[in-house]
Structure 1
Amino acid sequence: MKKLLVLGNNWPEPTTTAAGSRILQLLKIFQNDGYEVHFASAASKTAYSIDFNQLLIKEQSIVLNNPSFDLYIKDLQPELVMYDRFMIEEQYSWRIRENSPETKHILDTEDLHFLRKAREEAVKKKKDVNLFNETAMREIAAIYRCDLTLIISKVECEILQTSFQIDSDKLFYLPFLVNEAEIATIMEYALPFKARAHFVMIGNSLHQPNYDAILFMKKEIWPQIRNNDPNVELHIYGAYQTQKILQLNDKKSGFLIKGHASDAIETIRKYRLLLAPIRYGAGLKGKIFDAMKAATPVAMTTIAAEGMFENTATYGFVDDDPVNYAQKCLQLYNSESEWQSVSLENSHILKSNYLGSAFAKALLTKTSQLISYKSPEINRNNFSSKMLNYHSNKATKFMSKWIEERNASQR
């Protein structure tokens, strides 16, 4: 039986992050194709971490900068290893190349971290976006080192190819996924306009773009909405809501902090409009994907909508100006005919952009081709990749060895 090892930055939390849901989709694709799936992480589990035993996925706690991982990978010998973000590739890829040389390496970026960082800096310092930062050097190097990189947004595929000259053969576009049965259920159980009330925001509160969006809403947008309609409320959900978010709760203005939502879609479907005033970030936005599955139109900024709607209508509206954004929120919130027209577009958008069967088949075909290439001259016929593997393996290896020896001496 073929084996896939996924090395996680954290143990997946599908009820708190879009990344957690996406990694589970990936695991199921390979599991359904007959792979024996293993998941390993050096992180500590939380109350939200998924129980892999229920999914028949073998989990393993590992230790960073420790030779015990060498023994683990030498025994496992997986056909494929998938790194959950570039930092994990930096930490473990050299050990896998030494102890399981036939293993093929896949990087799942989740989103491009250097792009998110560049946009955050541009917003906070009010300057142009500079993609060529230190994080980009690390993340692009990891992409070159790996045999294949999964990219969640077509916009990010284009950035990698045009700004960094990454060969398209090294990239695989894989968005969020949905199946036909899910879409049928969505349409059957969608709540009508009059059964819904109020506005909603949702997102992991530790994710800086989400926190920034809450502050932006509180200061720039919500006062305008509330002044025009004093009966509406905004309910804000998210895991890990810290004191700096809890203190924003204001019953008088209808700005209400609600805590963790155990089922995001079931929560969103009760509201008339999801607000996503995101000013910086990268990748696709899980909250917007969930809103479409809840048949709840979305008020978006350009960053929020980026990459979400390929060749289809926008599911709601896009506007970056706080005044216009507030006015359009009220218009869509109060117009039943306009709201209904937008809400019903979800089925077409999901089928056009996110239907999972075709993406899964293409991914499995691509990875099968990788596995079949046994000669390094065939699947790594790229001097840049070879050079980066040579130098980075030396650098990360000896840094890890130094930490390993230091830890041993302190015992």
Structure 2
Amino acid sequence: MSKVLVLGYVWPEPNSSAAGRHMLSLLESFLTADWQVTFASPALQGEHKVDLRALGIVEQNIALNCSSFDEFIVKLQPDIVLFDRFMLEEQFGWRVAQHCPKALRILDTEDLHSLRQARHSALKQQRELSTSDLNSDLAKREVAAIFRCDLSLIISEYEYNLLQHHYQVPKTILLHCPFMLDLSLLHQAKPEFEQRQHFISIGNFRHEPNWDAVLWLKQSIWPLIRKQLPDAEMHVYGAYPPPKATQLHNKQQGFLVKGWAADAEQVMTQARVCLAPLRFGAGLKGKLVEAMLCGTPSVTTSIGSEGMGSAPANSNNSNIDLNWPGHLLEFTADKQASVAEYFAQQAIDLYLQPNYWQQCQHLGYRWLSSHFDQVPLGLKLLDSIKHIASNLDTHRANNFIGQMLQHHQFKSTQYMAQWIEAKNKK
């Protein structure tokens, strides 16, 4: 039995974010392999945290910049260590390499943080993304962490290609690992078009692209929809809504900020159309995958659909746009007003056309079956880990840049952490 240590940036909250659901699917894959799993995090436990102990996973609180972690990992002696996002690799990677040099080191990127930041900066300046944006200091840190690890899990097909072609990361240390879903849910009965009503938007408010999307929806898109559909409502769900979000609630305008959804699947299944007007971001968008799973067609931007793979084959309906199970709009920062107007009109059309709506629903089901089936994806993940583990020395020898960056990390991050620890003891 292999021992797996997962170092979490936060404690998993599968009902609050796509990142939490994806982490839980990774943990379940490890348990399926009959591996012993320990989840450790320096973060405070949130109110929506999943009970990992009920799944047979050991929970452990750890501290940043503290040698107590050294004692913990020496005692545990894991065979595999997974870092949840590159910041955790920066903080603990050198300690893992020092005390468990034979442990396979995996980075779960979730999304490329540097890409999200670069797009946000470009949006604020209302310009297109540039090469200098992609080569930011944050990108250098993030890509360095990818090189230092034996394997990095890349959730988005777009980012998988970007890392290889722009940053020249070897394919041998990357694995495209999208959402892994239980597709048996597709066969459950769901409300039909006539049984559904209103629009829905969902996403953790602590994730800045989600807040930006809600603000754009409220200010520019929803007034256009409401003008043509005066009885429709916009239901906005998301964990941890700040006061600035709850202040957008306006019953007279039909814009209802609902906050955290205890059962996201239930509220998504009741809605007729999901709206995700994302202007920046990275990775995969859990809200859109969940919409497909619930049979809810969606309207989104090119940012929202990015990395989701190509349209599934075997559609014999030429009347449906195979690019997306709903409507998809190309977003450009310099034409936001016209994009908002077109977005609103596409949302209205989808809301009023039952035949097209049903075609989009079934396309969504095919999309999930083509790209997000947990059975083959889980097997691919486990096979990749086992293959690298069985050839670890050769695998690392072929990644000289990773070895070089690991060497320099010892000389910088290690000494900085030790200095902080010594300072904290005074």
TM-score interval (norm. to shorter):
over 0.9
Report how far residue 381 of structure 1 moved.
2.4
Report how far residue 309 of structure 1 moved.
4.1
2:215 paired residue number: 215
Query: After the TM superposition, which residues 316-335 of structure 1 pair with which residues of structure 2 at under 5 Å, given as runs?
Result: 316-319=326-329, 320=331, 321-335=339-353
3-state SS of 1:70 partner: helix
Please tell me the residue identity of whatever aligns with 2:21.
Answer: S
3-state SS of 1:344 partner: helix
Give per-residue Cα distances to partners, 1:164-199, cap 9 Å, x unaligned: 0111111100111123423323xxx21100110010
1:190 paired residue number: 190
Is the Cα contact below 8 Å between 2:104 and 2:392 reproduced in 1?
A: no
After TM superposition, the structure 1 stretch with the greater mean CA deviation from structure 2, 78-87 or 377-386, is: 377-386
Q: For the residues of structure 1 that align with 2:28 and 2:265, how far apart are their CA atoms?
A: 20
2:317 paired residue number: none
Q: For the residues of structure 1 that align with 2:104 and 2:298, how far apart are their CA atoms?
A: 40
After TM superposition, the structure 1 stretch with the greater mean CA deviation from structure 2, 110-119 or 350-359, is: 350-359
Match of 2:400 among 383, 391, 394: 383
Please tell me the residue identity of whatever aligns with 1:366.
Answer: S
How many residue pairs align between the two structures?
405
3-state SS of 2:249 partner: coil
Is the Cα contact below 8 Å between 1:370 and 1:379 reproduced in 2?
A: no
Match of 2:375 among 333, 357, 362: 357
3-state SS of 2:106 partner: strand
Is the Cα contact below 8 Å between 1:84 and 1:107 reproduced in 2?
A: yes
Q: TM-score, normalised by structure 1?
A: 0.97
After TM superposition, the structure 1 stretch with the greater mean CA deviation from structure 2, 332-341 or 137-146, is: 332-341
Is the Cα contact below 8 Å between 1:39 and 1:58 reproduced in 2?
A: yes
Report how far residue 374 of structure 1 moved.
4.9
Report how far residue 348 of structure 1 moved.
1.1
Report how far residue 363 of structure 1 moved.
1.2
2:156 paired residue number: 153
Is the Cα contact below 8 Å between 1:147 and 1:380 reproduced in 2?
A: no
Instruction: Say yes or no: does 1:293 pair with 2:310.
Output: no
Q: For the residues of structure 2 that align with 1:216 and 1:180, how far apart are their CA atoms?
A: 33
Match of 2:423 among 391, 396, 406: 406
Is the Cα contact below 8 Å between 2:150 and 2:395 reproduced in 1?
A: no
Give per-residue Cα distances to partners, 1:215-269, cap 9 Å, x unaligned: 1111111111111121111010111111100111111211111111011111110
1:233 paired residue number: 233
Instruction: Say yes or no: does 1:46 pair with 2:49.
Output: no
Query: After the TM superposition, which residues 128-139 of structure 1 pair with which residues of structure 2 at under 5 Å, given as runs?
Result: 128-129=128-129, 130-139=133-142
Match of 2:165 among 138, 144, 162: 162
Report how far residue 373 of structure 1 moved.
2.5
1:344 paired residue number: 362
Report how far residue 349 of structure 1 moved.
1.1
Please tell me the residue identity of whatever aligns with 1:371.
Answer: A
After TM superposition, the structure 1 stretch with the greater mean CA deviation from structure 2, 311-320 or 231-240, is: 311-320
1:251 paired residue number: 251
Report how far residue 128 of structure 1 moved.
2.8
Match of 1:315 among 308, 311, 325: 325
Is the Cα contact below 8 Å between 1:179 and 1:356 reproduced in 2?
A: yes
Please tell me the residue identity of whatever aligns with 1:149.
Answer: S
Match of 1:369 among 387, 394, 397: 387
3-state SS of 1:172 partner: strand
Report how far residue 384 of structure 1 moved.
0.8
Is the Cα contact below 8 Å between 1:225 and 1:326 reproduced in 2?
A: yes
| Paired-residue identity, % | 41
Report how far residue 101 of structure 1 moved.
1.0
After TM superposition, the structure 1 stretch with the greater mean CA deviation from structure 2, 302-311 or 90-99, is: 302-311
Instruction: Say yes or no: does 1:224 pair with 2:224.
Output: yes
* Structure 1 segments (4+ residues) deviating >3 Å: none
Is the Cα contact below 8 Å between 2:80 and 2:103 reproduced in 1?
A: yes
3-state SS of 1:63 partner: coil
Q: For the residues of structure 1 that align with 2:76 and 2:344, how far apart are their CA atoms?
A: 55
Give per-residue Cα distances to partners, 1:96-154, cap 9 Å, x unaligned: 11111110100000000000000000001122322111110100000000000000011
3-state SS of 2:345 partner: helix
Instruction: Say yes or no: does 1:393 pair with 2:402.
Output: no
Is the Cα contact below 8 Å between 1:86 and 1:109 reproduced in 2?
A: yes
Name stretches of at least 5 consecutive residues in structure 2 with no aligned partner. Answer: 313-321, 332-338
2:181 paired residue number: 178
Please tell me the residue identity of whatever aligns with 2:31.
Answer: Q
Report how far residue 347 of structure 1 moved.
2.1
Q: For the residues of structure 2 that align with 1:331 and 1:346, how far apart are their CA atoms?
A: 18
Report how far residue 350 of structure 1 moved.
1.0
Is the Cα contact below 8 Å between 2:73 and 2:96 reproduced in 1?
A: yes
Q: For the residues of structure 2 that align with 1:41 and 1:309, how far apart are their CA atoms?
A: 32
3-state SS of 2:60 partner: strand
Give per-residue Cα distances to partners, 1:348-406, cap 9 Å, x unaligned: 1111111111111111111112221353x543322211110000122100000001101
3-state SS of 1:258 partner: strand
Is the Cα contact below 8 Å between 2:65 and 2:417 reproduced in 1?
A: yes
